[in-house]
């Protein structure tokens, strides 16, 4: 999961060397709230899930949790 | 399908307010607003009323169409920020223009212009009207909490008008609503009704969940473009310009890059005016007409999206 998200993030940021860890915050990755929506839409496409924008997402781990929850529904 | 546009006009308030001016009383900066929204300035009503601006825009459109108000059979005004809750802005403008014909407002938030075009098309197609004056005018400044740095920086005031007559320019029109109040709304006051149990100190300013609206907008733009192209059996290359509601450059760029389309096909003027709700599409259209950007025969796709949540798409061959 982290690998797939890292790939999406690197593509979005056009940065092949971007370091991404589960505890990386999106602020550290220099993504603002609207970048985060774009990322969520990319994740939706990649994982075939629908993610509501209601839950606050601060770290990559938060996003992974939401994807896992969406996948189990 | 039943109309063509034979005259356009627009009128903006005199006062331009820069990001730097907003930063004098809000905790924000030109750099922040520009990078988050693409907006550098907006025009805000001071002495003018929005009825004044709408009337002036209508007069310009009528002059460009070589028609008088007496030739108009219907006035439809797309607005949610009129000077009066009653009568309609359409009636207020019609009084100033000295005309008399059916006149009413349409509220579909930022999709209002395309909704109004669809209403006009219905009247023209059913031969209830030959010439229709469609006005979009918004005074967003009256709806904003000017202490809220997240919303007040986004919007501006402005008015535009189009004169429509029976013709074959309209190739496609589609309006939708997928009702969701929470992402974007402005509550109306209960007034001084002594029987109302609602709180009287409710927030009556515009409230928006930015991420929700952004996702809706980017998704909707892609869907609307694909739907229209499929219905018309056209490719994106066949469209000269996609004239989108000017809500945020990042919404337009976000949808455009996902569709892998070039920026030249997506004109923008949000830098100067901010989000003018229903007025944004026809103000941009009028600018493009005045600058001779649009050539005869060009296919234009107009897409509105906003509160409701509503959306609307019209394809016109100029």
Q: What is the ipTM of this complex?
A: 0.89
Q: Is B164 left (phi over 0), alpha (psi -120 to 50) or beta?
A: beta
Q: What is the pLDDT of residue B243?
A: 98
pTM score, two decimals? 0.95
At residue B200 the predicted structure's pLDDT band, cuts being 50, 70 and 90, is: low
Sheet (strand B170-180) strand order: B170-180, B308-317, B299-306, B241-244
Supply B101's token pair: 């014909």
Q: Can B91 be counted among the known catalytic residues?
A: no
- Say whether residue A49 is in contact with chain B using an 8 A CB cutoff: no
**Is there a contact between A37 and B219 if contact means CB atoms under 8 Å apart?**
no
Active-site option among B64, B131, B248, B275: B275
Chain A residues in contact with B219 by the CB 8 A cut-off are: 41
Q: What is the pLDDT of residue A70?
A: 84
Q: Identify the three-state secondary structure at position B172.
A: strand
Q: Can B192 be counted among the known catalytic residues?
A: no
Q: Which of A55-64, B17-26, B273-282, B303-312 has the lowest mean pLDDT?
A: A55-64
Share of chain B above pLDDT 70, in %: 99
Q: How many helices and strands in chain B, by DSSP H and E?
A: 9, 13
**Is there a contact between A34 and B214 if contact means CB atoms under 8 Å apart?**
yes
At residue B30 the predicted structure's pLDDT band, cuts being 50, 70 and 90, is: very high
Q: Which of A13-17, B75-79, B165-169 has the lowest mean pLDDT?
A: A13-17
- Closest chain B residue to A36, measured at CA: B211
Active-site option among A15, A16, A17, A32: A32
Chain A residues in contact with B249 by the CB 8 A cut-off are: none
Q: Is pLDDT of B1 > 80?
A: no
Partner residue facing B218 (CB), from A32, A33, A41: A41
Segment A29-56 mean pLDDT: 88
Q: Is pLDDT of B250 > 70?
A: yes
What one-character DSSP code corresponds to residue B188?
P
Partner residue facing B212 (CB), from A32, A41, A53: A53
Segment B28-57 mean pLDDT: 97
**Is there a contact between A53 and B215 if contact means CB atoms under 8 Å apart?**
yes
* The dihedral formed by the CA atoms of B247, A36, A40 and B311, expressed in degrees to the nearest 10: -10
Q: How many CB atoms lie within 10 A of CB B193?
A: 10
- Closest chain B residue to A32, measured at CA: B36
Per-residue pLDDT tens over the stretch B66-120: 999 999 999 999 999 999 999 999 999 999 999 999 999 999 999 999 999 999 9
At residue A55 the predicted structure's pLDDT band, cuts being 50, 70 and 90, is: confident
Cα–Cα dist B138/B194, whole Å: 31
Q: Identify the three-state secondary structure at position B152.
A: coil
Q: What is the pLDDT of residue B201?
A: 64
Instruction: Work out the widest C-alpha separation in chain A, in whole angstroms.
Output: 34
């Amino acid at each position: 999961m982290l690998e797939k998200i890292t790939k999406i993030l690197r593509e979005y940021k056009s940065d092949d060397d971007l370091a991404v860890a589960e505890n990386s915050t999106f602020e550290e990755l220099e993504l603002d709230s609207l970048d985060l929506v774009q990322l969520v839409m990319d994740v939706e496409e990649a994982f075939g899930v629908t993610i509501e924008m209601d839950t606050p997402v601060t770290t990559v781990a938060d996003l992974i949790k939401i994807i896992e929850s969406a996948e189990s529904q | 399908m039943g109309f063509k546009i034979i005259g356009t006009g627009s009128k903006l308030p005199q006062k331009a307010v820069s990001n730097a001016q907003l930063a004098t009383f809000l905790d924000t900066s030109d750099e922040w607003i520009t990078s988050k929204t693409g907006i550098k300035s907006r025009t805000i009503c001071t002495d003018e009323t929005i009825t004044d601006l709408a009337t002036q825009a209508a007069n310009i459109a009528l002059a460009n169409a070589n028609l008088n108000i007496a030739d108009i059979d219907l006035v439809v005004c797309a607005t949610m920020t009129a000077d009066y809750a009653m009568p309609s802005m359409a009636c207020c403008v019609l009084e100033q223009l000295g005309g008399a014909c059916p006149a009413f407002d349409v509220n579909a938030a930022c999709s209002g212009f395309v909704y109004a075009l669809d209403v006009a098309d219905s009247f023209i197609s059913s031969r209830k009207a030959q010439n229709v004056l469609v006005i979009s005018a918004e005074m967003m400044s009256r709806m904003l909490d000017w202490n809220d740095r997240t919303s007040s920086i986004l919007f501006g005031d402005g008015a535009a008008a189009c004169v429509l007559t029976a013709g074959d320019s309209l190739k496609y029109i589609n309006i939708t609503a997928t009702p969701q109040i929470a992402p974007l709304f402005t509550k109306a006051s209960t007034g001084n009704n002594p029987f109302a149990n609602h709180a009287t100190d409710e927030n009556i300013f515009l409230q928006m969940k930015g991420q929700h609206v952004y996702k809706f907008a980017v998704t909707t733009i892609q869907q609307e473009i694909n739907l229209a192209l499929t219905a018309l059996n056209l490719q994106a290359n066949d469209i000269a310009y996609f004239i989108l509601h000017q809500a945020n450059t990042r919404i337009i760029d976000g949808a455009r890059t996902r569709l892998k389309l070039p920026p030249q096909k997506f004109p923008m003027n949000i830098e100067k005016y901010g989000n003018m709700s229903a007025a944004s599409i026809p103000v941009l259209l009028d600018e493009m007409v005045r600058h001779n950007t649009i050539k005869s025969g060009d296919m234009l796709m107009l897409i509105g999206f906003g509160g409701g949540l509503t959306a609307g798409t019209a394809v016109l061959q100029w």
